[in-house]
Chain A
Amino acid sequence: MMVETGHFALVLAFALSLVQSVVPLAGARFGNQRMMAVGGPVAITGLALTALAFAALTVSYARSDFSVANVWENSHSLKPLLFKITGTWGNHEGSMLLWVLILTFFGALVAAFGNNLPATLKANVLAVQGWIGAAFLLFILATSNPFARLVPAPMEGRDLNPILQDIGLAIHPPLLYLGYVGFSVCFSFAVAALIDGRIDAAWARWARPWTLAAWSFLTGGIAMGSYWAYYELGWGGFWFWDPVENASFMPWLAGTALLHSAIVMERRAALKIWTLLLAILTFSLSLLGTFLVRSGVLTSVHAFASDPTRGVFILAILSLFIGGSLTLFAVRAQSLGAGGLFHPVSREGALVLNNLFLTTATATVLLGTLYPLIVEAFSADRISVGAPFFNLTFGPLMVPLLVIVPFGPLLAWKRGDLLAVAQRLWAAFALAILAMLAVLLFVDRLAVLAALGIGLGVWLIFGALTDLALKAGVGHAPARVLPSRLAGLPRSVFGTTLAHLGLGVTTLGIVGALSFGSESILAMKPGESTSVSGVTLRFERLEPVKGPNYTENRAVFSVRDTDGDVFAEIESSKRFYPVRQMPTTEAGIGTFMFSQLYVSLGDETPDGEVVVRIWWKPLVTLIWLGALVMMTGGAVSLCDRRLRIGAPSRRQRRPATAADAVVP
């Protein structure tokens, strides 16, 4: 009953999405208010129905209902309850259902909180959301139905891919999808504006909170995925330039560009067309990411999702939406009109420069990701584009961008004074130079590049803080009013500062882990010790452990200081999941301040030794902490934006909204 009700709800959601695609759009065309008003209730009901379907599937997983083929393929009665539940989206069908659930969630949010939108814009946005929803619901029902049944039902399932049996699966895909799919709202806003043939300054205000929300979620999702890969795959790396990682990184780069160009559009009514194009491209890249993962065209660590037959369907959706929206853009963009003018050295100019770097970087990553596909399509060769390509192209593009980041927020609108800004940044610059000297003098005299990297991170952090300090009035206001002035600053200023500061923190982490780390591989017996960057790592014992659905060989290491006192213990293990006949590594990680000692087990040698790989990764946690700071920045800025979307509405006209707009 439960399962079939869920199935029926999903079909019903598809029927509603068809209505949502057509009726509000027609209403906007005919100028019929009643038809436009259909969009809201239908979008909210669609969310309720999709949520019901998703809940039915989750319950089937939790109760090990193997009469559902999807549960049988991806679950096992002995799995811990948490992994039974997360297993719902640890497979193709379930993850597509999650995708659509989040899509309808965002659609319902627009419907519920978009009361201050112009009626036609809202109707068109909801209709475009309806198109996306209808396409993906059809895809699910036609090619990957999670509610397909099995008669007779088997008594035991085939278990979930052991790599996915991790807390990471509970967090990474939902966050990532919230990011991917969040950009669908920006896309819908852009397409709606194009359909309407009209775009105004208010558009940027309405579209920006969605961009911010999606960007924050995507930042968190990517960081979480990176940390998950870091500790689960046992290779000690945090980013592999794997096609699927790139697939999530491209919308992030484009989304970051969108975030910045939307500021210009809102404040200066410039870059309208460019912002629309970015909104379309960002979601297109999200769709491309879905396509790359779901179709299995590129083999990667996310191989659980590969099935070429579905690829054709997704490719059709992809061409329809990307091709369709770009065509619409080509036809309509000219009619939108240009915006205000500005001097090259100005806040606008800085943001344009930011956009240039970010879009070039996106194009670079896109090329590197798709190049193997292109080569394969036109010849019989199979090639892979690895880290060296990206390090050579992406790195040099990012460095100048990071250097100019602190200048941006300090430049004035329309016409800025570069020299004055540089003078204001002297403290940050001095600190960066100091940091570089410190690295060269105390850590490694030859690590010039690494020192520059550390300097860059410090420059970003203090550059961001300088901006905040100046806005609070340091230097030209009396010291006693500073706290109140600081508290009076709009939240978006804090958002900007946090996001830029987070970028610096992440830069420090990347440079630290890549430049000052050490790696050693050795065969150890229990009782043996080795020294790693000033501490002693002693292999205490190897013990077998029986988990609920796996067996584990657990190695326990103790970390001792120079006197031999134990101050930390690290457990690293290899697991074996009998149902899938798959081994996994569970890396042992000890965190000391921001640095980590990473121990991963290899094979056992015949004479009782175990191959142990040990990495010392200085500052590595800063990579993800920085991302968290960026995400927090997005959230803080979003709080502000919520007030600001309210600004044009009748009841919320209050002074605070104007004050908020001082600095985006």
Chain B
Amino acid sequence: MLFWIAAALLTIGASLAVLLPLAGRGALPSAEPGHDLEVYRDQLGEIERETARGLIGPAEADQARTEIARRMIRADRQRRRTGEAGWGRGARALCAASVLAVPLVSWGLYGWLGSPDLPSQPLSARLETNPADSTIEELVARAEAHLAANPSDGRGWDVLAPIYLRLGRFPEAVTAFSNAIRFEGSTAQRQTGLGEAIAGAAGGVVTAESRAAFERALTLQPDTPAASFYLATALAQEGRIEEAVVSWQGMLSSLPPDSPWRGAAEQAIAEGRRNSAVAATEPGPDRQDVEAAAGMSDSDRNAMIENMVTGLDQKLRKNPHDLEGWFRLVRSYVVLGRTQEARDAVRRATEALGEKSEAAGKLAAFSGALGISAVD
């Protein structure tokens, strides 16, 4: 409501700025004086002064005076007078239109662009509202504001840290857990949270730093399933899948039957076995590549994968008798969703290996299982 009153007042003010001069209020600009003549008169005075100071000689002064006089005569001849106000029909229509244009253009344009119902929302006012009405983001912001003022409030950090982790704000979670540990002491729970946050910030890769946190958690409290789970994941990420599976199995045997980590461990074991089976047959990217990929952005990682696939493709064009290679290439294309190229690869492989050969048969079976056939 207040806004509409303000808008109306502003509009009235702006319209008056147009209307009043047209309606005859305010001083009229005076009729045009001979400005040129004034300037030239000044210049004449100046010549007198310069002559008096001895800056120019009398002859030159005379010459200058003549020239200025000539200009004065010309200027006088050119003086035009503006006639009395011309109020033709066009002028009247234009004035009416311009007075109307102010409210019409402004209200029309604002109606299209503005959001009159949205109040201003200064941060401090938003932080003062009742916590029960707040969204989780507002609660977090409130806690942040509190912690910015009292950065050594360890309990505050302790409360905020898991929320950050849940919201996926990993870098903040790292800071919050570190601060909680610094002010409230190291516990297995906080160290585990720190480890998870670091891994989250690294895009899910359990880095050395994160591993150290989990290890500290386990020293503090040996049965910390989350820490054990992530340490096993770290092993798997390094390509030591068998060792990872062994430690997940160790977890399974020691976990109580109702532990939520059972399911996670079982799933990880199943996946680990599958991967290790594949890994056994495929020389995949080496550990260095995997580590490099972990630090990359998504687009960089994709570019790296693309590179590897293209490299393999090139290699197989030169040496098409590598059945293992064909398996990998077809599978890669299927994983990347490039079925057309997968099909093409199967066709090229079949040509190279011989239509009826045993190897071609194996490839056909393999690609069939992936939903690809050379014929289609």
Instruction: Decide yes or no: A41 and B21 within 8 Å by CB, A14-B105, A15-B102, A118-B32 being known contacts.
Output: yes
CA–CA, A92 to B85, complex, Å?
44
Q: Which chain B residue shows the least CB distance to A203?
A: B35
Beta-carbon contact of B110 and A45 below 8 Å: no
A662 in contact (CB, < 8 A): yes
Beta-carbon contact of A200 and B141 below 8 Å: no
Closest Cβ of chain B: how far from A143's Cβ, in Å? Answer: 12
Interface residues on chain B, number (Cβ under 8 Å): 82
Binds B, one of A59-67, A288-296, A441-449, A529-537: A59-67
Beta-carbon contact of B82 and A31 below 8 Å: yes
Name B's interface SS: helix
Q: Which chain B residue shows the least CB distance to A122?
A: B29
Beta-carbon contact of B109 and A141 below 8 Å: yes
B11 in contact (CB, < 8 A): yes
Q: Which A residues, 12 to 71, have Cβ-Cβ distances below 8 Å to chain B?
A: 12, 14-16, 18-19, 22-23, 26-27, 30-38, 40-42, 44-45, 49, 52, 60, 63-67
Interface residues on A, range: 35 or more
Instruction: Decide yes or no: A77 and B14 within 8 Å by CB, A14-B109, A658-B42 being known contacts.
Output: no
Contacts of B86 in A (CB 8 A): 30-32
B220 in contact (CB, < 8 A): no
Beta-carbon contact of A32 and B123 below 8 Å: no
A7 in contact (CB, < 8 A): yes
Beta-carbon contact of B91 and A26 below 8 Å: yes
A398 in contact (CB, < 8 A): no
Beta-carbon contact of A67 and B71 below 8 Å: no
A11 in contact (CB, < 8 A): yes
B83 in contact (CB, < 8 A): yes
Closest Cβ of chain B: how far from A654's Cβ, in Å? Answer: 11
A2 in contact (CB, < 8 A): yes
Contacts of B90 in A (CB 8 A): 26, 30
Contacts of A37 in B (CB 8 A): 21-22, 26, 28-29
CA–CA, A33 to B20, complex, Å?
13
B95 in contact (CB, < 8 A): yes
Instruction: Decide yes or no: A11 and B138 within 8 Å by CB, A31-B85, A37-B28, A648-B33 being known contacts.
Output: no
Q: Which A residues, 610 to 664, have Cβ-Cβ distances below 8 Å to chain B?
A: 647-648, 650, 653, 655, 657-659, 661-662
Contacts of B324 in A (CB 8 A): none
CA–CA, A650 to B32, complex, Å?
12
B277 in contact (CB, < 8 A): no
Beta-carbon contact of A34 and B101 below 8 Å: no
B337 in contact (CB, < 8 A): no
Binds A, one of B1-9, B186-194, B356-364: B1-9
Name A's interface SS: helix
Beta-carbon contact of A32 and B110 below 8 Å: no
**Which of B28, B35, B36, B124: most chain A CB closer than 10 A?**
B35
Beta-carbon contact of A35 and B121 below 8 Å: no
Instruction: Decide yes or no: A661 and B120 within 8 Å by CB, A23-B18, A32-B86, A49-B14 being known contacts.
Output: no
Beta-carbon contact of A155 and B140 below 8 Å: yes
Contacts of B257 in A (CB 8 A): none
Contacts of B280 in A (CB 8 A): none
A570 in contact (CB, < 8 A): no
Contacts of A119 in B (CB 8 A): 29-32, 82
Contacts of A23 in B (CB 8 A): 18, 94-95, 98
Instruction: Decide yes or no: A64 and B123 within 8 Å by CB, A22-B98, A648-B33 being known contacts.
Output: yes
Beta-carbon contact of B102 and A19 below 8 Å: yes
Instruction: Decide yes or no: A12 and B102 within 8 Å by CB, A30-B88, A37-B26 being known contacts.
Output: yes
CA–CA, A653 to B137, complex, Å?
69
Beta-carbon contact of A44 and B29 below 8 Å: no
Beta-carbon contact of A32 and B85 below 8 Å: yes
Binds B, one of A96-104, A145-153, A158-166, A583-591: A145-153
